[in-house]
Amino acid sequence: MQIDGALIAYLEDLSRLSLSDAEKTRLAGDLTAIVGYMAKLDELDTAGVPERSHPFDHTNAFRADVVGDSFDRALILRNAPDAGDEAFRVPKTVE
């Protein structure tokens, strides 16, 4: 599968990213390689193999409805590129 400029522009839009021309060219190459690598799976004969959503046979991994401690806010906010005292900060999104 060829990742072309139009598809890159579409993905850029969906991901809300703004890429330079050099980045777009590099990404097109990378994505073509990744999709090509996955396309290798198409060579397998899967006729007769039932469709499944998960590689493991296990089901129902639950936790009980019990409240535990949340994280320290200052520690959580430290992971973000930008934050105020109480909240994460992102570029203007709300109109």
Partner 1 sequence: MSWETVIGLEVHTELATKSKIFCACTTAFGGSPNTHVCPVCSGMPGTLPRLNRQVVEFAIRTGLALDCDITRYGKFDRKNYVYPDLPKAYQVSQLYAPICQNGHLDIDAGGVPKTIAIREIHMEEDAGKLIHDPLTGSTLVDYNRCGVPLLEIVSQPDFRSAAEVLAYLEKLRETLLFLEVSDCKMQEGSLRADVNLSVRRTGETALGTRTEMKNLNSFRAIGRAIAYEAARQIDVLEEGGVITQETRRWDDDKGVSYSMRSKENAQDYRYFPEPDLLPLRVDDDWVERERAALPELAHQKRARYIADYGLSEKDAATLTGHKRVSDLFEALADKTAAPREAANLVTGELMRLLNRTGTLPEDLSADSGTLARLITLVLDGKINRNAYKEAVEAVFTEDADPDEYISAHGLLMLSDDGAVAEAVAAVVADNPKSVADYRAGKQQALGFLMGQAMRRLGGKGNPAAVSQALKERLN
Q: What is the nearest approach in angstroms of partner 1 to the Cβ of residue 7?
A: 12
What is the C-alpha to C-alpha distance for residues 64 and 61, in angstroms, rounded to an integer?
Answer: 10
- Exposed, middle or buried by CB within 10 Å (0-12, 13-18, 19+), for 77? middle
DSSP 83: B
Q: Which is nearer to partner 1, 40 or 54 (CB)?
A: 54
Rule CB under 8 A: which residues touch partner 1? Answer: 13-16, 53-54, 56, 58-71, 73, 76-77, 79, 82, 84, 86-95
Q: Which is nearer to partner 1, 37 or 62 (CB)?
A: 62
